[in-house]
Amino acid sequence: MMPSMRRIGPVLFLLLLSQCLNGASTRGPGAEAGAHAYTWDLEFDYVTWLADASLLKLGQAALGAERYMDEAAQRELVLETVALIQEIQNAEGQLSALHADPDQQRVAAQIAEINAHLNELYRQRSRLGPLAESILQTQISAVLADQGFTVLGQPLPPLLFHSTPLPWALIASPRDHIAQAANISLRTELTLEEHIALEDEVAKGLNLSTLVVPVGGIGVYPTMVAQSSNLNWLIEVSAHEWAHNYLTLRPLGLLYFQNQDLTTMNETTANIVGKEMSEAVIGRYYPELLPPPPAPVSVEAPDAAGPPVAPVFDFRSEMHATRVRVDALLAEGNIDEAEAYMEAQRLFFWDQGYAIRKLNQAYFAFYGSYADTPLGPAGEDPVGASVRELRARSASLIDFVNRMAWLTSFEDLQKVLAEEQVNSD
């Protein structure tokens, strides 16, 4: 019964859930309807992508090639594929640099050579990539089963992801407060110039703060995950997006776009799942890739006779302080002052080596939703801290996720934490 469930589970869920999850993951309310008037001919084609990815996953499920490989062979194939992707990225970087050379005649032979090499690498990736995905799906699913996220031994929904170039996201926020008013997926091939033109057009036409951002994954079904040579990150994002699929079958995920609090609750929960699952999967199958433990903090007094030590710039702390100041200015109705302050801070970050193209309300509306660690662009928003507190008070990851999954507001989360506090006193 269980092996057959593993084989047919992905098929059933592809048929039953793909449209539901796609809709819940890509649409928002309010100003988004107005923004679509500017983006309709630039938007990503999810229907075609889902059809192609679903056929690929159905074919993988039917073949089940990974089941004929032992654990050592599976591991080696995944590592080989990751190394191949790194080689592709290096070659693409070289090609981009050569195309920027003013003397194109001088580098023409090098460009042709790298293009030929890349074509061979792409052929290898098309051969190895789908099998590596199937192996990683099996490995992550096994750890999800260890954590208790299963029905008849199968994670529900089954974990399916496809590594692919991802669409960009147009984020829009009201100017007088920070919240996601729109989150629209754009075609992968759009240029930076097209991003900027679209941002300006929507901002002017709808009086919104706008920003086009890259994303690491999207919780459609199968989930979309960016191609990467960083295996730890790839597993983290795959588990993060699976968590969105899991939550979309429950109230918290269904209410993702209802307000900024619920968006932050969803993203912070998924981030926690992704990080914990990545550590568990890497520890089980690729232990040599586990990051080293943090270095101990020295408590010794500095040498008074030595030279003064320049303070180390802390990006997250400075971004936290920036968000707090912006929130205060907006609460006072000082929109122009807040926007001038954000631009000044953007230039300050640039001087510190952080190239932020645009720092505005839309930036904070997007990046502030990922509040699984203290400080950063979430500022003093209590939502992320409350989600982290519930995780700390939960006996296990599945206990935490299932408690979060049935919440329908930040007030519900506060009530749960208040009850926890009473019970612990």
User: Alpha-carbon distance 318 to 315, whole Å?
Assistant: 5
User: Alpha-carbon distance 127 to 115, whole Å?
Assistant: 19
- Say what the pLDDT of residue 297 is: 53
Q: How many domains does the chain have?
A: 1
Q: What angle do CA 341, 343, 349 make, to 5 degrees?
A: 105
**In the chain, % of residues over pLDDT 90:** 63
- Say what the pLDDT of residue 145 is: 93
- Residue 350, domain member (yes or no): yes
Tell me: pLDDT of 407 over 80: yes
- The band of 30, judged by pLDDT with boundaries at 50, 70 and 90, is low
- Residue 400, domain member (yes or no): yes
Q: Which residues lie closer than 8 Å to 189 by C-beta, 6 or more apart?
A: none
- Residue 362, domain member (yes or no): yes
Burial of 161 (0-12, 13-18, 19+ CB in 10 A): buried
- Say what the pLDDT of residue 302 is: 53
pTM confidence score:
0.85
Reported as a single tens digit per residue, the pLDDT across 246-264 is: 999 899 999 998 898 999 9
User: Alpha-carbon distance 140 to 205, whole Å?
Assistant: 45
209-248 burial code (b ≥16 CB/10 A, e <16): bbbbbebbbbbbbbbbbbebbebbebbbbbbbbbbbbbbb
Residue numbers of the domain that contains 358: 315-424
- Residue 329, domain member (yes or no): yes
User: Alpha-carbon distance 48 to 188, whole Å?
Assistant: 14
- Say what the pLDDT of residue 291 is: 85
The closest alpha carbon to 50, from 226, 250, 219, 254, belongs to 219
Of 17-21, 136-140, 308-312, 366-370, minimum mean pLDDT range: 17-21
Tell me: pLDDT of 24 over 50: no
- Residue 374, domain member (yes or no): yes
- List beta partners, residue 154: 151
- Residue 369, domain member (yes or no): yes
- The band of 381, judged by pLDDT with boundaries at 50, 70 and 90, is confident
Tell me: pLDDT of 81 over 50: yes
- The band of 25, judged by pLDDT with boundaries at 50, 70 and 90, is very low
- Say what the pLDDT of residue 425 is: 65
Tokens 């056929």 -> residue: 55
- Say what the pLDDT of residue 12 is: 46
More confident residue, 107 or 382: 382
- Say what the pLDDT of residue 31 is: 65
Q: Which residues lie closer than 8 Å to 46 by C-beta, 6 or more apart?
A: 22, 26, 185, 220
From the centroid of its chain, how far is CA 375?
18
Mean pLDDT value across residues 116-142: 93
- Say what the pLDDT of residue 305 is: 58
Tell me: pLDDT of 5 over 80: no
Contact 232, 79 (CB under 8 A): no
Neighbour count for residue 62 (Cβ, 10 Å): 11
Mean pLDDT value across residues 273-293: 94
Mean pLDDT score of the chain: 87
